[in-house]
Structures are given as structure tokens and as C-alpha cells.
Amino acid sequence: MELIEFLRQPWPWYVAGPLIGLIVPILLIAGGKLFGVSANLRHACAACVPGDIEFFKYDWKKSGKWNLVFVAGTILGGFIGGWLLSNPDPIKISAQTITDLKALGISDFSGMLPSDVFNWENVASTQGIILMIVGGFLVGFGARYAGGCTSGHAITGLADLQLASLLAVIGFFAGGLFITYIIYPFIF
Amino acid sequence: MKNYIKYLLAGIFFGIVLIKSEVVSWFRIQEMFRFDSFHMYGIIGLGVVIAMISIQIIKRKNIKDMEGNAITISPKDPKQVTRYIVGGTLFGFGWALTGACPGPLFSLAGAGYSIMIVPILSALAGTWVYGKIRPSLPH
């Protein structure tokens, strides 16, 4: 019981960082696989709606089945971490961030997302369309255009000292800062 | 299927860490982009350091994978500057809007945030449209 109590607490960055870093050698040693989540979006397109598009004409089972299994595990891990080991308390984010987000009109800080914004009733509002539908679209489009996402570039690529990944990560942050400082005041 | 159990277990491990470290939290991503906390920088930074040391050990000791094959990491072409900068920036827009990158999108869906199905489907659409217009995009 004490172990469960211990696991239910949030894990500090100096525990979580190394654990995420270890996924890279785990996958390399397991089968020479490169850690990268967003490639699965391409595999899913290739498997379900390849159309007549060159980009989706490849053997997704051969190159991507392992990764689709990995991401199925990520969903399952989310269930274990978010249900069985869930932390009952609100996340302890910085007071400054709370102040800034309250100024934008966010009031619910209890979960992983502000439920006053990310909910099914809000999907079709202008705000919901921009945050969830346009945001999701850009995650998928941008990740493939850049050849990877946070896991593939910011973790795996930087760790392998790839200049391309450094360029991509600079883009990730430039884009994120632009949205946070310039666009957020208009959509909240 | 037996050969795939190791990948399932690795994915479960990743999903749990994403939740327990609060990397999946929209609030943590906002805190990161507002430079109000070291949390996310500590996680990504230490993750990179541990992965870097591991890759160096694997390369220098010529460690083989569990199937007996040599481990190679194919380099990305750094001459394609446009795709990394423009694609990366577009991804950054999406990251800040949804508050989640692909791993957390899936992990959150598993944790019961069913609303994440919306950005996941949109991300699939974005990937598909990229594939469709790829020949006419500068890379």
C-alpha cells in the first residue's frame, strides 16, 4: 500500500528525465528501433487511407508495426498512470503561470488540461476549432514536414548530435513561443 | 506477435512516465513556453543527456540488438534546412495550441481524456495532407 501511495505522487524531473532518455537505448537494443512517436501517424495513414499518395506507399507492417505496438502501449501506460496511479491533487505549476492563465480566463486547474476549454461542448466553437482541430492538424502536418516530433528530434536526434534535429527543435520553440505570446491573447 | 511484446512493454513504460512526470499536462507546456519553471527543461535536458551517453556506449562498444544485428542510426540530412525550420515551427504552433505533442496525445487519451481523440484525428488529417502536397513543398 505504501508503494502505491509512493507511485501516486508526481515524479520529479530528475527521475522522469532519465527514464524518458532510457527509452532510446531500450528500443535500439530491443531491435535497432529509433524512438519517435509521430511516425505512427504516417503508418496509420499508410495502413488505412493511403489513397494514391507516394508518401504512403511503403511496407508499413515491416517498418512500422513495432511502433504502432509501442504507441498502443503508450495509451495503455496512460491508463495505468492516469487511472490506477493517478495523483489526486492538482498539478503544482508555478504561481506566475497560474496568474497569467487566470488572466486569460482559465479557471479549472484540477486536471491535466483546463476542462473549461478542452471539452466536447467547446469543440465546434472558434476557440475549440483553433486549439483542438487546427492545433492537432499542425502537430501532424508539422511533425511529418520536419521529419519528427519531440521524441524523434528533441530527444533522439539531439542525443545523436544531429544538426537537423537542432534546427527542428529551434522551430518547435519559435512556433510555441509565437502562439503563447502573440496568439493566445486573441483566442482566450 | 511474441516479438512485439517488448515494444508493448516499452510503450507502457513511456506512457506511465509521461503521465507521472506531468509532461502530458497542458499547464506544464504553458509553464515551459512562459519560462516559469525548470520542470520541462529538466526532463528534456536530462533525457537528452542519458540518451546521448547510451548512444555513445552502444556505438563505441559495437553493441548488437537482441536480434543480433548491428545498431545503426541513419543521419538526417541537415542540408534540408527549410523542412526542419518551417516544419518545426508549424509543429511548434500545434504543440502550443493543443498543449501536447504526439506521445502525450495518446497517453492522455489512455488516461481517460477522451477529448484528445479530436486532436489525434486532426493530426492524422494533417499527416495525410502533408503526404498529399509533399511533392510541391520546399524541403
A55 touches chain B (CB under 8 A): yes
Average pLDDT taken over every residue of chain B: 96
Which residue in A34, A96, A145 is closest to B73 by CB distance?
A34
Please report the pLDDT score of residue A6 as a whole number.
78
ipTM of model: 0.96
Q: What number of other Cβ atoms are within 10 A of residue B128's Cβ?
A: 26
Distance CA B121, CA A136 (A): 8
Residue A101 has pLDDT above 90, yes or no: yes
Q: What is the pLDDT of residues B44-74, one digit of tens each?
A: 999 999 999 999 999 999 999 999 999 999 8
**pTM to 2 decimal places:** 0.96
Report the mean per-residue pLDDT for chain A.
95
Q: Suggest the residue from A6, A20, A92, A126 to mutate for an interface test with chain B (most B CBs closer than 10 A).
A: A20
What's the confidence (pLDDT) of residue A2?
Answer: 77
Q: What single-letter amino acid sits at B103?
A: G
Rounding to the nearest 10 degrees, give the CA dihedral for residues B88, B91, B96, B101: -110
Q: Please name the member of B4, B63, B84 whose beta carbon is closest to the beta carbon of A164.
A: B84
The count of other CB atoms within 10 Å of the CB of residue A161 is: 13
Instruction: Say if residue B7's pLDDT is above 90.
Output: yes
Q: What single DSSP character describes residue A105?
A: T
Res. B37: pLDDT tops 80: yes
Residue A88 contacts B where some CB pair is shorter than 8 Å: no
Tell me which residues of chain A, numbers 118 to 137, contact chain B at a CB-CB cutoff of 8 Å. 118-120, 123, 130-137
Å between B46 CA and nearest CA of chain A: 5
Cβ of A136 within 8 Å of Cβ of B135? The answer is no
Q: Give residue-wise pLDDT tens across range A28-48.
A: 999 999 999 999 999 999 999
| 8 A C-beta contact, residue A151 and residue A35 | yes
Residue with cell 537528452: B48
